[in-house]
Protein backbone atom coordinates (compact mmCIF):
# COMPACT_ATOMS: atom_id res chain seq x y z
CA UNK A 1 0.00 0.00 0.00
CA UNK A 2 0.89 3.65 -0.19
CA UNK A 3 3.46 4.98 2.29
CA UNK A 4 3.39 8.45 3.83
CA UNK A 5 6.42 10.01 5.48
CA UNK A 6 6.34 13.27 7.39
CA UNK A 7 9.26 15.38 8.50
CA UNK A 8 10.46 16.55 10.87
CA UNK A 9 8.93 14.28 13.54
CA UNK A 10 9.30 16.98 16.19
CA UNK A 11 9.67 20.74 15.97
CA UNK A 12 10.08 23.38 18.66
CA UNK A 13 9.57 27.01 17.69
CA UNK A 14 9.71 30.34 19.39
CA UNK A 15 6.48 32.27 19.08
CA UNK A 16 6.54 34.37 15.90
CA UNK A 17 8.82 32.03 13.96
CA UNK A 18 7.97 30.43 10.61
CA UNK A 19 8.13 26.73 9.76
CA UNK A 20 7.74 24.26 6.91
CA UNK A 21 6.40 20.75 7.37
CA UNK A 22 6.91 18.15 4.65
CA UNK A 23 4.89 15.14 3.52
CA UNK A 24 6.26 12.61 1.03
CA UNK A 25 4.12 9.84 -0.42
CA UNK A 26 5.11 6.76 -2.35
CA UNK A 27 2.49 6.65 -5.12
CA UNK A 28 0.13 8.89 -7.04
CA UNK A 29 -2.81 10.20 -5.01
CA UNK A 30 -6.15 11.78 -5.73
CA UNK A 31 -6.77 13.01 -2.22
CA UNK A 32 -4.48 14.80 0.22
CA UNK A 33 -5.52 16.46 3.44
CA UNK A 34 -3.61 18.27 6.19
CA UNK A 35 -4.97 18.09 9.72
CA UNK A 36 -4.06 19.66 13.05
CA UNK A 37 -4.70 17.43 16.05
CA UNK A 38 -5.12 19.67 19.05
CA UNK A 39 -4.14 18.70 22.61
CA UNK A 40 -7.68 17.36 23.19
CA UNK A 41 -7.32 14.94 20.27
CA UNK A 42 -9.65 16.63 17.80
CA UNK A 43 -8.54 16.42 14.16
CA UNK A 44 -9.14 19.79 12.58
CA UNK A 45 -9.23 20.10 8.79
CA UNK A 46 -6.62 22.53 7.52
CA UNK A 47 -6.47 21.89 3.79
CA UNK A 48 -7.88 19.55 1.18
CA UNK A 49 -5.12 19.86 -1.41
CA UNK A 50 -4.46 16.99 -3.85
CA UNK A 51 -2.60 19.49 -6.05
CA UNK A 52 -1.77 23.16 -6.24
CA UNK A 53 -1.45 25.84 -3.59
CA UNK A 54 -3.90 27.16 -1.01
CA UNK A 55 -3.70 29.75 1.74
CA UNK A 56 -5.77 30.31 4.84
CA UNK A 57 -4.57 33.11 7.07
CA UNK A 58 -1.14 32.29 8.47
CA UNK A 59 -1.20 28.81 6.96
CA UNK A 60 -0.56 27.79 3.39
CA UNK A 61 0.02 24.49 1.62
CA UNK A 62 1.46 23.33 -1.65
CA UNK A 63 1.18 19.88 -3.22
CA UNK A 64 3.35 18.85 -6.16
CA UNK A 65 1.58 15.66 -7.13
CA UNK A 66 4.00 14.74 -9.94
CA UNK A 67 6.89 14.78 -7.45
CA UNK A 68 4.84 13.15 -4.67
CA UNK A 69 5.21 15.68 -1.90
CA UNK A 70 3.26 18.33 -0.06
CA UNK A 71 4.41 21.20 2.15
CA UNK A 72 2.58 22.98 4.95
CA UNK A 73 3.81 26.47 5.84
CA UNK A 74 3.08 28.09 9.17
CA UNK A 75 3.99 31.75 9.49
CA UNK A 76 4.19 33.90 12.63
CA UNK A 77 3.54 30.87 14.82
CA UNK A 78 1.42 31.19 17.97
CA UNK A 79 1.23 28.98 21.05
CA UNK A 80 -2.19 27.83 19.89
CA UNK A 81 -0.53 26.26 16.83
CA UNK A 82 0.97 23.59 19.10
CA UNK A 83 -0.15 20.03 18.49
CA UNK A 84 0.41 17.30 15.93
CA UNK A 85 0.11 17.98 12.21
CA UNK A 86 -0.93 15.04 10.05
CA UNK A 87 -0.74 14.56 6.33
CA UNK A 88 -3.19 11.96 4.95
CA UNK A 89 -3.57 10.69 1.41
CA UNK A 90 -6.03 8.64 -0.60
CA UNK A 91 -5.12 6.68 -3.70
CA UNK A 92 -8.45 6.96 -5.48
CA UNK A 93 -10.90 9.80 -5.85
CA UNK A 94 -14.24 9.69 -4.12
CA UNK A 95 -14.66 8.33 -0.60
CA UNK A 96 -11.33 6.56 -0.45
CA UNK A 97 -9.86 5.68 2.96
CA UNK A 98 -7.10 7.98 4.10
CA UNK A 99 -3.60 6.72 4.85
CA UNK A 100 -1.94 8.88 7.49
CA UNK A 101 1.67 9.71 8.18
CA UNK A 102 3.02 9.58 11.72
CA UNK A 103 2.68 13.31 12.11
CA UNK A 104 4.89 16.25 13.08
CA UNK A 105 4.64 17.28 16.73
CA UNK A 106 4.92 21.08 16.94
CA UNK A 107 5.55 22.95 20.17
CA UNK A 108 5.42 26.74 20.06
CA UNK A 109 6.87 28.39 23.13
CA UNK A 110 6.25 31.96 24.25
Catalog residues that contact another protein under the rule CB under 8 A: 4, 30-31, 33, 35, 40-43, 45, 48, 50, 86, 88, 90, 93-98, 100-103
Of the two residues 55 and 93, which places its CB atom closer to another protein in the complex?
A: 93
The CB-of-22 to another protein minimum distance in angstroms stands at 15
The CB-of-19 to another protein minimum distance in angstroms stands at 19
Can the peptide bond before residue 8 be classed as cis, meaning omega within 30 degrees of 0? yes
Of the two residues 15 and 27, which places its CB atom closer to another protein in the complex?
A: 27
Amino acid sequence: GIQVEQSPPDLILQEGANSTLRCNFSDSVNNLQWFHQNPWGQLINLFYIPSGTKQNGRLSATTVATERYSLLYISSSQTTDSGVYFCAVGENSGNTPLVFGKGTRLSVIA
